[in-house]
Structure 1
Amino acid sequence: MTYPTSRDWLFSVKTFIASMLALYIGLKLELPRPYWAMATVYIVSNPFVGATRSKALYRALGTMIGASAAVLFVPPFVESPYIFSAVVAIWTGTLLFLAISDRTARSYVFMLAGYTMPLIALPSVMNPAGIFDLAVSRTEEIVLGIVCASVVGSALFPSRLAPALIERTDAWFRDAAFYAKETLSGRLSGQAISACRQRLASTVNQLEFLLSQLAYDHTRPDVLARAQALRGRMQLLLPIMSAIGDPLAALFGGQKTPPEGLKPLLDDIVKWFDEPVDTGADSALADAHADALRARIAGMQPSADSLRTWDGALLSNTLWRLKQLVDVWQDCRSLRVIIANEQGSWRPRYRHWRLGGTQQYFDRGMLLFSAGSAMLAIFVSMSIWIASGWNDGAGAVTLAAVACCFFAALDEPAPQVFAFFIYTCLAVVLAALYLFVILPTVHDFPMLVIMFAVPFILIGTLIPRPQFNLATMLTAVNTATFISIQGTYDANFLTFMNSNLAGPAGLLFAFVWTRVTRPFGAELAASRLIRSSWRDVVLSASTRPVDDQKNLTARMIDRMMQIVPRLAATDDRRHPSIESFRDLRIAFNALDLRRLRRRLSEAELASVDGVLEGVRAYFQQNVERGSRQPVPASLEVAIDTALTRITRPGGAVQAEADAAQGQPGQVSPPGRQVRDALHALVGMRLSLFPDTVASALPPEPEPA
């Protein structure tokens, strides 16, 4: 086990100081529940100032909204308990749906507003006339804790969030270098590669939330914009890298000698990926290295005549992808330098007509199911409480609501809810130890601080660690809450047990509920995401208009980043994540072909339309049957026919060759358009039939 670092100790001591300050002020102001101010400090505190500020602001807003809702709904519905239960469940479920539909720090507003309402409303049902005073005091206590956490975190050795961003991106750069080495060496599958692919996607996903907190870290808008651009380029690297694997396997497979100069080029790209990112003045050397690689790629381009052979078309596709890889990697390195130095200008090297979309993908069906499950859990637990007549049963309902909301976004929430139950039980034991053994000997506040210092500081050192964050935060918060420190000591064992065993009872109910209603795990979520990606392939290959192809592209990439972390690492060459990347490339290639249709001759257009229709029909079949079906051999024939017609004598490629010799032909689309069509068709063939490699383009079939 790694011992806490100095930064962990500093965070823990600062958090403890802020919690004691909040408790002291709460006691001096004679707030009804000063311990809530102490607990709030542990809820909102984060090792980084920006994260603490954002969480504090959003918690304050969410608390105020939830408290206002409690004041609004309790008086008119308190005499109708089951209607009131439905109102509380609908409010919490609706706000929860909004929370899990937002992947930024802003989601905390909706989350807090959702479960704060029952947290305030349910204890007041026995005294509805006091709901306003309860809502105001709860808001005061929470705001006090928020202010103390923010002030202490900002005043005492503040830690900025930007260095954590640099650490995350550096880890991503190391993984990307390994992934590039393996891919460019022709290895597409394996446990290590699959695990690396998962880490790359997970880091990109985590950065989305981290960047939403960066604005609260006094980060300049231009640096924040560069950080967003870096994440966008990091998203692109995985699809581009995956697109290189299949053509490389085709070029280096079989008995043929690979094209001259390709292997040294790949070795030099790998060396460049392994080079550390230089944030000093010599970073211009990296740009020169990238320019040299691009020049070598350009020098290896096959001639227009060579494009009529399969090997020439394959080499052209590979070099095109390698140039994209060099461009994206140079962009990533340049943006990393700008973020580290907080200065510099950036001119993107990788450009594409599809870039610029901002749309995210949300599985609305799963989100509705998750929110609906939590909503029904709250209603059922409230109904049980009402039927039982248990005066302190409100605590069970509130913690059940909190647990269902906390973990609603997870594919498999039950294990986390059970952990919540275990650590809440531990907190009950610690609270009892303090309340009945330690606190009777405490006669002033300084002694109370001393008694709290050792366990709370030790627990606080583990809060910054992701693997311990949930356990330690819950232990600290629940212990502070269950002790229920007041201005005077007043403890009754039976009252303590009756009120504080309600929480574990509610969590046990939440665990059983989530185990029964959500037993599916990540497999169901991944399969739904994959089927959704097939529907977008159908849309891309169909004749239906696409309103915004940039946003369609952004949505498909965002969904891909959600699929990869959900799939277990294996050695399978037909691993679902590899297949899903191929699906993504097929969709992109289909969009490229749709864009190029108006540039083709009648015969070429007919063959390309045949390919698109075949792709559409195949993926539509996958969608309808709910599983990946064998690709029909007729689609391979259709792609080869389209390739032949694009490259036939007298066709587009011949026209390009003739134009270069001053002999214009009958068809004269620009050379770039011709190559784009070839690249799309070759990429589609490799994605649909990765295990088959044609030795040459087939002859054009004779007309019937």
Structure 2
Amino acid sequence: MRSLVPALTLALTHVTTLTQTRLRDLWSCLWSGKPRRQDHLRWLYAPDLVTFGYALRTTITSLIALGIALWWELGSPQWAALTVWMVAQGTRGKSVAKARWHMFGMVVGTICAVALVAAFPQAPVLFIVALAVGIGLFCFVGTLLPGPATMTNYRIHGMRASGFTYAIIALDGIADPEHIFQIAMARATYIVLGIVLESTVSSLFQFRLGERARDRLTHNFLTAIDGAARALAALLAGDAQVLSKARGLFSTITSLSDQIEFAEVEMGRHHGHEGDHARAALARVAVLLSRGLDMAALMHMPDCVPGDAFHATADRVRAFLLDLPARLEERDIGPTLQRLAALRADCRQAVAESLGTEMGSDTLPPVATDDAATLHHQHQRILHHGLDAMLEDLEQAIIQFEASLHPLPHDHFHYRIKTFRDWQQAVANSLRASVTIFGAGVIWITTGWSDGLLFLMFVSIVCSLFSTLEKPALATQAFLTGAFWAVGAAAVLVLWALAKPTTYEIMALCFSLPMLAGGLAFAYPTIVLAAVSYNLFLPILVGPGNQSRLDEIAFFNTAMPLILALWYAMWTFRLVLPFDTNAMRWQMRTGILKGLRLLARSRTLPTTLYVVERNVDRFVRLLTNTEATPEPVVDAYLKGILSAMSIGLNVIRLRAILARNVLPARSHQVIEEVMGRMAQFSGRYGGHYGRTARSAKLAINRIVGEAGRESNLAVRMEMDRALASLTVISYELDTNQMFFDASSPYLDPVFG
């Protein structure tokens, strides 16, 4: 017996230590906020601490808003709880940004709703037409606002909130037009109450907000530069297709740039221009990747074999790129810029030595070489020119990154968010929303449905929320799924749980678990839209009040219009001006061809940053709309967009060379001929496409022949720059003939 005591003690100690270790690891995992598996209902029973905190905070806030609305004896207190869920986001910056735009949209929508009811109090057809047109106009304006057409673009959300408020006030007020002002003020009170409470409560759970926002800006840039540096290092190692394969790089840069404005909100009113510099740094990373595309073209010029000198320089640059993210993470920026300057000096020195060998100097005569050796030297200079330009863009990105870390006093730098307006899509979104709402109004009037007004309200809400998206039918389908969840949860609350409570505390307790589950589901990307629908419609379906409680008939008369409205909107979105990926791709290609023609002949040229950002926007849009598209077609379009970006950038550089007027007359003339051909570029085989490609090759041959006779050093360097741009244009036109061939609209038959 005594011999068992030490063994039991040792076993107990081991179990205790193991348990402590497991608990410590579990707490560390929860507190770290690292991504966790969320499939198979893990988002519900094993959430991370950040997600649970968001769900608990928002649940408490919505219940407080509901309690205050009941305390004030407002007529429809559920709208206050609903507003909290509409505004609440995972970070403080997103919540504040969304709250501001929601407040703006509420004011606009309230004013327009009062005017609508006042104008058509007893004309139902005109009222429905004006309601449909009004929400269509909100969708039209929202589509044209800056930023991506996603649910996280809170400028667009301002217009969504306008349509949402416009619908609920106007449809409540048309039943009692004499009290429209009181109805509007009541609805506005709910919304303001929800916004103020959510903003106040979320601010209590934030600490070191400005510091964490700056850390996020740093992390964003390091994430982008790490991917870019690895891709460029692989390119210099010989992988010519690495930039075409690395599709996620441009999407990552775009996504990170969209998040900067939320970090600016978190840094507060008195922050400097850190966000502007961070936005410019990410844009420079995109330009850096475009330079990588140029390097890929230059390294694969016909009859061009990179020499030993270029390989030596490229190896040093490659080692620098692989080491760069770690150096920047340590904030070792000064020495990094010095090393970068040394690499650029090596590139320029290699160019100077090549020119000195070929042209001679004051102390050394030129070395006699044959035409092949002269062409080889010229190719090596072009490669070093391209490498130096790539390093220059990298230097500019790091300088902007440093400015975001250490803002300068009295800094007035501003880098605005770019807007690429699609007027055709805006018109389509507006018409789709208007037709859907008008159809719902016609159903209400012709059937005389007693709950038709509620049906029309739900249709109007869905149109306000989703008509600015490219694929509203898919979003509405997810919303319909969430609505079924909400109906199930509300049925339990209305028909069983809330039939008994007589105090607010017990009612809040009954509400807490269903709301908490909805908040946890919000963090799972696969069901996020269904979770939003569940959180929005649950308070409406329960309909808590001081003097009334929903019975079975009232509950089903609310649930049925909701489900039918979402089903109707989903199918109408599929039938009325549905989103067509083929048409989108064809429109994109024709826009690219038109843009190249404008670059060649326009009097005012856009900046290289604009050209890069415009094509990156196309690239990301194409990536997000690839369903049911053959992979070869998607790949051809992605390569074609990158190719068009390279061509556009080099057209701008050639026009800058022409504007400097340093080239000899004949070289100047042949480049002007290339620009003239590009101004008529249509992309058709046997037509202007072939003439444009041939004119680029002819210009290269003439400039190469003339360069050997040029004795002026400055002119020779300018001719090398022109040759580099012409070589890239010629390479891209030859490599992507299939994409630029406008006689094949969709490429699907070609690759299918």
Q: TM-score range by the shorter chain?
A: 0.7 to 0.9
Are 2:603 and 1:545 equivalent residues in the alignment?
A: yes
Instruction: Provide the identity percentage.
Output: 20
Are 2:183 and 1:134 equivalent residues in the alignment?
A: yes
* Contact 1:37/1:142 (<8 A) preserved: yes
1:156-171 alignment to 2 at 5 Å?
156-158=205-207, 161-171=213-223
Q: TM-score, normalised by structure 2?
A: 0.80
* Distance 1:258-1:215 versus aligned 2 partners, 3 A rule: closer
- List per-residue Cα deviations over 1:492-512 (Å, max 9, x = no partner): 211211122212211111111
Are 2:391 and 1:326 equivalent residues in the alignment?
A: yes
Counterpart AA for 1:237: L
Aligned length: 657
* Distance 1:573-1:90 versus aligned 2 partners, 3 A rule: closer
* Contact 1:359/1:555 (<8 A) preserved: no
Match of 2:618 in 1: 562
* Contact 2:291/2:386 (<8 A) preserved: yes
* Contact 1:54/1:216 (<8 A) preserved: yes
Aligned mates of 1:573, 1:447 — CA distance in 2:
56
Aligned mates of 1:408, 1:555 — CA distance in 2:
28
Aligned mates of 2:717, 2:562 — CA distance in 1:
66
Aligned mates of 1:211, 1:359 — CA distance in 2:
13
Aligned mates of 2:244, 2:705 — CA distance in 1:
40
Q: What is the deviation of 1:200?
A: 2.2
Counterpart AA for 1:134: I
Match of 1:517 in 2: 576
Are 2:670 and 1:607 equivalent residues in the alignment?
A: yes
Match of 1:12 in 2: 55
Counterpart AA for 1:503: L
Counterpart AA for 1:506: A
* Distance 1:163-1:144 versus aligned 2 partners, 3 A rule: farther
- List per-residue Cα deviations over 1:22-75 (Å, max 9, x = no partner): 111111111111111111111101121121112112111211211111111113
Counterpart AA for 1:79: Q
1:497-646 alignment to 2 at 5 Å?
497-542=556-601, 544-546=602-604, 548-550=605-607, 554=610, 557-567=613-623, 568=626, 570=631, 575-597=636-658, 598-617=661-680, 619-621=681-683, 632-646=689-703
Q: What is the deviation of 1:137?
A: 0.5
* Distance 1:305-1:638 versus aligned 2 partners, 3 A rule: farther
- List per-residue Cα deviations over 1:189-211 (Å, max 9, x = no partner): 47xx65632x2222333344323
1:450-461 alignment to 2 at 5 Å?
450-461=509-520
Are 2:300 and 1:249 equivalent residues in the alignment?
A: yes
Aligned mates of 1:468, 1:211 — CA distance in 2:
25
- List per-residue Cα deviations over 1:271-321 (Å, max 9, x = no partner): 333332534453323223312321222233242786985544443333233
Are 2:356 and 1:299 equivalent residues in the alignment?
A: no
Q: What is the deviation of 1:336?
A: 4.0
Are 2:466 and 1:416 equivalent residues in the alignment?
A: no
* Distance 1:130-1:673 versus aligned 2 partners, 3 A rule: same
* Distance 1:443-1:517 versus aligned 2 partners, 3 A rule: same
Match of 2:279 in 1: 228
Counterpart AA for 2:643: R
Aligned mates of 1:133, 1:514 — CA distance in 2:
34
SS at match of 2:427: helix
Match of 2:232 in 1: 180
Match of 2:322 in 1: 274
Aligned mates of 1:573, 1:377 — CA distance in 2:
32
Match of 1:265 in 2: 313
Aligned mates of 2:83, 2:128 — CA distance in 1:
27
Structure 1: gaps spanning 5 or more residues: 348-354, 623-627, 661-668, 693-704
SS at match of 2:474: helix
1:85-96 alignment to 2 at 5 Å?
85-96=128-139
SS at match of 1:579: helix
* Contact 2:487/2:559 (<8 A) preserved: yes
Match of 1:702 in 2: none
SS at match of 2:498: helix
Counterpart AA for 2:345: A
Structure 2: gaps spanning 5 or more residues: 1-36, 39-45, 148-153, 360-370, 738-752
Match of 1:664 in 2: none
Aligned mates of 1:379, 1:111 — CA distance in 2:
18
Q: What is the deviation of 1:332?
A: 3.3
* Distance 1:526-1:410 versus aligned 2 partners, 3 A rule: farther
Q: What is the deviation of 1:514?
A: 1.2
Q: TM-score, normalised by structure 1?
A: 0.85
SS at match of 1:387: helix
- List per-residue Cα deviations over 1:170-224 (Å, max 9, x = no partner): 433343234224433333447xx65632x22223333443233333213413212
1:252-401 alignment to 2 at 5 Å?
257-275=305-323, 276-280=326-330, 282-301=332-351, 302-303=354-355, 309-336=374-401, 338-339=403-404, 341=405, 343=407, 360-401=419-460
Q: What is the deviation of 1:402?
A: 2.7
Counterpart AA for 2:108: I
* Contact 1:360/1:559 (<8 A) preserved: no
* Distance 1:687-1:408 versus aligned 2 partners, 3 A rule: same
Give the alignment's Cα RMSD to 1 decimal. 3.1
Aligned mates of 2:428, 2:686 — CA distance in 1:
28
- List per-residue Cα deviations over 1:620-662 (Å, max 9, x = no partner): 355xxxxx8887554444223322333435x6x643xx345xx
* Distance 1:230-1:422 versus aligned 2 partners, 3 A rule: same
Aligned mates of 2:686, 2:71 — CA distance in 1:
70
Counterpart AA for 1:272: F
Counterpart AA for 1:250: M
Moved more, 261-270 or 157-166: 157-166
* Distance 1:521-1:425 versus aligned 2 partners, 3 A rule: same
Counterpart AA for 2:109: G
Counterpart AA for 2:705: R
* Distance 1:514-1:164 versus aligned 2 partners, 3 A rule: farther
